[in-house]
Amino acid sequence: MKTFYLGMLAILLLTGCVGPVHQMAKEGNAPFIGGELIHDRGKSNRLVLQTPNRRYEANGFAVEHQTDLAVLRKRYFIADRKHWDRIFAGLDAGHEFFSIETIAVSAEGPELSCRLIWASLTKPAGVCTDQTGAAFPVRFE
């Protein structure tokens, strides 16, 4: 029984150390055949986008965490003060938004400028723009 609990603890610790990993979902006419987004690891954050003939990669970008406290205050301060207190104290993360702005570079030199945004408990999505100005939607599972 002790071995079982130690095994469960090891699994929880190992999976807890891995930041969120998202695989790319095929989106419309975007030229990407695959990709991966790993975030919440600080300098180890990584975005990979794969086309049939190129691999774009961005590393070490920041993930911005935002909460519009002014809007939430109007909604909860009087109507649900306990909920407001939890939001303001940072204990209710369900109202957070996350965003990434980064440049993904290929080994051949071309770059993609990518902007992704998502709400807490949802999946990242956004747009990547190449050097010619063509924009491609991207979405991760």
Q: List the one residue out of 68, 76, 70 whose CA is nearest residue 99.
A: 68
Confidence of residue 101 (pLDDT cuts 50, 70, 90): very high
* 77 compared with 57, residue with greater pLDDT: 57
pLDDT tens digits, residue range 80-96? 788 777 777 776 766 77
Rounded to whole angstroms, how far apart are CA atoms 90 and 6? 31
What CA–CA distance (Å, rounded) separates 35 from 139?
10
pLDDT digits (tens, 9 = 90+) for 31-41: 888 899 998 76
Report yes or no: 128 and 49 within 8 Å, Cβ to Cβ: yes
For residue 10, pLDDT over 60 is answered with: no
Query: In this structure, what is the dihedral angle of CA atoms 70, 71, 76, 77, given to the nearest 10 degrees?
Result: 30
Determine the residue type at 138: V
Is the whole model's pTM more than 0.85, yes or no?
Answer: no
- Using a 10 angstrom Cβ sphere, with 0-12 exposed, 13-18 middle and 19 or more buried, the burial of residue 56 is buried
Q: What angle do CA 139, 41, 131 make, to 5 degrees?
A: 45
Altogether, the residues listed in the chain come to a count of 141
Beta bridge partners of 98: 65, 118
Backbone angles phi, psi at 7, to 5 degrees: -65, -45
